[in-house]
């Protein structure tokens, strides 16, 4: 049975003697920066990157941690993050959840009636689809929420606005035209913390990727490895395998650590039931 994890947790990040260097997605004021600050504290050495792949590369080349979005409660998975987790040698070491409240942001002096175009990350545009369609505003994808606010300021656009956080508006000295414009008030994004080191503690959540065998009932046989070992699955997602049309990799989150006996046994059996298995990491879940 898939259900939400109800275990309460304490602080997610152990104190360190030196400040961690943390890579996040986007510009200052982005939700990814907020996730990094929630997890590591505002004193961490944060650095933003324009592309998700750059975050994985930077952690591979010396930055301590990366913070990447993986799923939104309205728009669903961030598919590139799933692909990068599979391709890289990094391990998931933590999880953070950020409540998303989108604002419509413009240059000072611009009024709501002046706006024809709205820039933001495609996920944010999708989360605010009802608002945009209801006002017949032209949605234009941009690489980052806060980055779209920064671009508006640099280009001094008077017929355009951006969708981002109130933090982003404050960071760039911009005007909030409307707030809470997402389609659902219960709007959350889940972020993963990735690092080079393996996480060997007995945390309460584990992520695994696998490719089923080419046979009837392959997904059933793979998932049955968890069921018969009484491992509770919390989340299942799938991604197409490049170059193999209609073939998929599957990603599961389960309750418990890969050091737990029942999970380690399920993983051993999964190796027999699947063509490919990768442990993405065990970590302490966000609340």
Q: 206 catalytic, yes or no?
A: no
Residue 221 lies in a domain: yes
Q: 65-93, pLDDT tens digit by residue? A: 999 999 999 999 999 999 999 999 999 99
Residue 287 lies in a domain: no
To which H or E segment does residue 219 belong? helix 218-227
Q: What is the pLDDT of residue 144?
A: 96
What radius of gyration do the chain's Cα atoms show? Answer: 20
Q: What is the pLDDT of residue 164?
A: 98
Residues 171 and 44 in one domain: no
Please report which confidence band the pLDDT of residue 199 belongs to, taking 50, 70 and 90 as the band edges.
low
**Closest to 69 (Cα-Cα) out of 256, 286, 243:** 286
Residue 1 lies in a domain: no
Rounded to whole angstroms, the Cα distance separating 30 from 121 reads 10
Question: Which residues, in sequence order, are CB contacts of 56 under 8 Å at separation 6+?
Answer: 66, 68, 84, 88, 90, 194
Residues 95 and 107 in one domain: no
Question: Lowest mean pLDDT: which of 13-17, 94-98, 136-140, 236-240?
Answer: 13-17
Residues 122 and 161 in one domain: yes
Please report which confidence band the pLDDT of residue 242 belongs to, taking 50, 70 and 90 as the band edges.
confident
How many domains does the chain fold into? 3
Rounded to whole angstroms, the Cα distance separating 192 from 65 reads 10
Residue the block writes with tokens 């980055």: 147
Q: What is the pLDDT of residue 8?
A: 36
Q: 12-64, pLDDT tens digit by residue? A: 445 445 789 999 999 999 999 999 999 999 889 999 999 999 999 999 999 99
Please report, rounded to a whole number, the percentage of residues in the chain having pLDDT higher than 90. Answer: 84
Residues 90 and 108 in one domain: no
Q: 191 catalytic, yes or no?
A: yes
Task: Give the CATH number of the domain where residue 274 resides.
Answer: 3.30.70.260
Residue 133 lies in a domain: yes
Residues 85 and 107 in one domain: no
Rounded to whole angstroms, the Cα distance separating 89 from 196 reads 7
Mean pLDDT of 156-177: 97
Task: Give the CATH number of the domain where residue 145 resides.
Answer: 3.40.190.10
Residue that wins the pLDDT comparison between 270 and 42:
270
> Of residues 40, 49, 56, 191, which has the active-site annotation?
191
Residue 15 lies in a domain: no
Residue-range definition of the domain harbouring residue 80: 21-99+187-195
Residue 141 lies in a domain: yes
Query: Cα 254 to chain center, whole Å?
Result: 17
Residues 81 and 121 in one domain: no
Q: 133-161, pLDDT tens digit by residue? A: 999 999 999 999 999 999 999 999 999 99
Residues 107 and 95 in one domain: no
Residues 88 and 27 in one domain: yes
> Of residues 56, 189, 210, 250, which has the active-site annotation?
189
Residues 191 and 62 in one domain: yes
């Amino acid at each position: 049975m898939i259900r939400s994890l109800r275990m309460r947790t304490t602080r997610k990040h152990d104190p360190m003697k030196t400040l961690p260097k943390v890579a996040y997605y986007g510009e200052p004021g982005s939700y990814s920066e907020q996730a990094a600050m929630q997890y590591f504290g505002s004193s961490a050495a944060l650095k933003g990157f324009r592309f998700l792949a750059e975050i994985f590369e930077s952690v591979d080349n010396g930055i301590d941690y990366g913070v990447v979005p993986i799923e939104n409660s309205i728009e669903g998975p961030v598919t590139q993050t799933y692909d990068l987790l599979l391709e890289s040698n990094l391990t998931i070491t933590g999880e953070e959840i950020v409540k998303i409240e989108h604002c419509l942001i413009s240059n000072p002096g611009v009024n709501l009636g002046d706006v024809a175009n709205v820039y933001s990350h495609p996920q944010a545009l999708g989360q605010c689809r009802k608002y945009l369609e209801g006002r017949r505003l032209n949605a234009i994808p941009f690489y980052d929420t806060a980055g779209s606010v920064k671009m508006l300021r640099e280009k001094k656009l008077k017929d355009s606005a951006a969708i981002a956080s109130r933090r982003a508006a404050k960071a760039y000295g911009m005007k909030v035209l409307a707030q809470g414009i997402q389609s659902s008030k219960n709007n959350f994004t889940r972020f993963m913390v990735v690092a080079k080191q393996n996480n060997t503690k007995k945390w309460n959540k584990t992520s695994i990727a696998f490719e089923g065998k080419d046979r009837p009932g392959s997904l059933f046989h793979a998932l049955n490895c968890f069921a018969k070992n009484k491992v509770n699955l919390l989340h299942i997602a799938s991604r197409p395998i490049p170059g193999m049309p209609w073939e998929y990799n599957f990603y599961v989150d389960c309750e418990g650590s890969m050091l737990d006996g029942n999970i380690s046994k399920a993983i051993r059996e999964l190796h027999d039931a699947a063509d490919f298995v990768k442990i993405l990491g065990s970590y302490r879940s966000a609340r």
